[in-house]
Structure 1
């Protein structure tokens, strides 16, 4: 019995090892390209899950098919010969249907081989079509042109781009100094324009004020012409009343009635006696 069990252990262990060697797992987000020693690379990639293969004859190559970010930077010249440093952020992944072709032509490091090359090519070609100022004012158009051309070039290598955007854009020192000088000049021009407009408004206000005063003087003159001496006498009476009221409030002034028919009196300025 013991001899029979010993004989079974060896074949059973061999069978278990062979079964384990015949299975392979494809994790989530991955695909497997199958390489056969006799027929070469299979036409279709294996999806996620557990699959069978022939040990020592077939080999599974795992590809990460999840979207991966990458920055592409370059320094190139604009249409007006200004040096521009531009950085592009790209989210890419391989085309699952063409994974066997990617493995045959590009290998495992397909993104390292393709993206920097086509990225620099597209950036240099697009930037050269715009002036430095247009790269700032028409940034959305520049980004759209770069995205379209890069998508087309990437599709030739069976790569899919989920997003393409400009993250960094700087210019040479000379252009930066020129832009700052232009901004200062524009600010000075705006300040001078404001001063001129302010002076013009003050001049118009002075003209309107002078016209108003002249019109008021003309109105008074016409009123005096119509009223004649009666108006002058009325103003004298008002002035006399004001003087009398002011003197009557002085402690040194004494009022003496004269007993006249109009109840008039005399105001005497009597100095106060010192104690």
Structure 2
């Protein structure tokens, strides 16, 4: 047997084994590269969902029996708006306590804080699962306010209550709510017209009340001045009656020598 044949018989199986292993490694792709702002959830047919998601970097994963599911862990936005890009659905419509309909744009900022929990409870289409929750909370919380309260001063309170409740509902699913905003809240046109008419009437009534109050104060001032003048005149009359000498002083000051002339004639 030649030396070449001997070498092949010795090294051939090893070379073939290496090639087969290399082929399997390439075809089965056991290496997973995780990019920045991303996590990979590992699901194994042997052990189920791996509790800790794979962080950015390179990782070895058992082929065939395992699969990986990517999750975006950067800040995401869920927007309800009529038209526009990156909009999940139309404006949210809800009823107030007194049956008035309001319509609002909604923007919620959130992050996937626990990808494994999100995959386990909501799946990969988690946006479609959390959107109805947000709509439901908005409708529920809005029903606790009157339309007039939301039209005037209570809108920030409603927004805060919605944000707190949505955060509480989504937290157990592995999602952290960063912020939730209600924008461009609109009301029924007839309701707005009625509120504006009421406001104008109230302003006019307040103006009339102010004018009446001012007139009353001016009248009181005039009466006080008249009473004071009457008091001064009464005091002078009393002084003249009780003190004739004072009368002569006053007469001389007013008429001078003319009084004496008139008296002596």
TM-score of the superposed pair, with normalisation by structure 2:
0.71
Asked if 1:203 is matched to 2:240, the reply is no
Selected match of 2:142 from 127, 130, 151? 127
Which residue number corresponds to residue 71 of structure 2? 63
Unpaired segments of 5 or more residues in structure 2?
Answer: 1-11, 81-90, 260-265
Which residue number corresponds to residue 133 of structure 2? 118
Selected match of 1:74 from 92, 96, 100? 92
Asked if 1:182 is matched to 2:190, the reply is no
CA drift at 1:176: 0.5
Selected match of 1:49 from 18, 40, 57? 57
CA drift at 1:172: 0.8
CA contact (8 A) 2:77 2:110 kept: yes
Unpaired segments of 5 or more residues in structure 1?
Answer: 1-6, 241-275
CA contact (8 A) 2:95 2:101 kept: yes
CA drift at 1:74: 0.9
Which residue number corresponds to residue 228 of structure 1? 247
Q: Residue 45 of structure 1 aligns to a residue in which SS? A: coil
Selected match of 2:106 from 69, 88, 97? 88
CA drift at 1:180: 0.3
**How far does the alpha carbon of each residue in 1:31-80 deviate from its partner, in whole angstroms, 9 at most, with x for none?**
11234577665443211222123456654332111221222431121121
Asked if 1:139 is matched to 2:155, the reply is yes
CA contact (8 A) 1:95 1:158 kept: yes
CA contact (8 A) 1:224 1:231 kept: no
Pair 1:16–1:196, CA change in 2 (3 A): same
Which residue number corresponds to residue 214 of structure 1? 230
Structure 1 or 2, whichever has the larger Rg, is 1
Structure-to-structure mapping, 1:15-30, within 5 angstroms: 15=22, 18=25, 21-30=29-38
Equivalents in 1 of 2:121, 2:232: separation in Å?
97
CA drift at 1:103: 3.3
Equivalents in 2 of 1:145, 1:234: separation in Å?
83
Pair 1:237–1:115, CA change in 2 (3 A): same
Equivalents in 2 of 1:230, 1:129: separation in Å?
82
Pair 1:50–1:239, CA change in 2 (3 A): farther
Give the paired residue count: 229
Equivalents in 2 of 1:234, 1:160: separation in Å?
95
CA drift at 1:231: 4.0
Pair 1:181–1:239, CA change in 2 (3 A): farther
CA contact (8 A) 1:86 1:170 kept: yes
**How far does the alpha carbon of each residue in 1:122-173 deviate from its partner, in whole angstroms, 9 at most, with x for none?**
1112212322123343334423432333223323533221223333422111
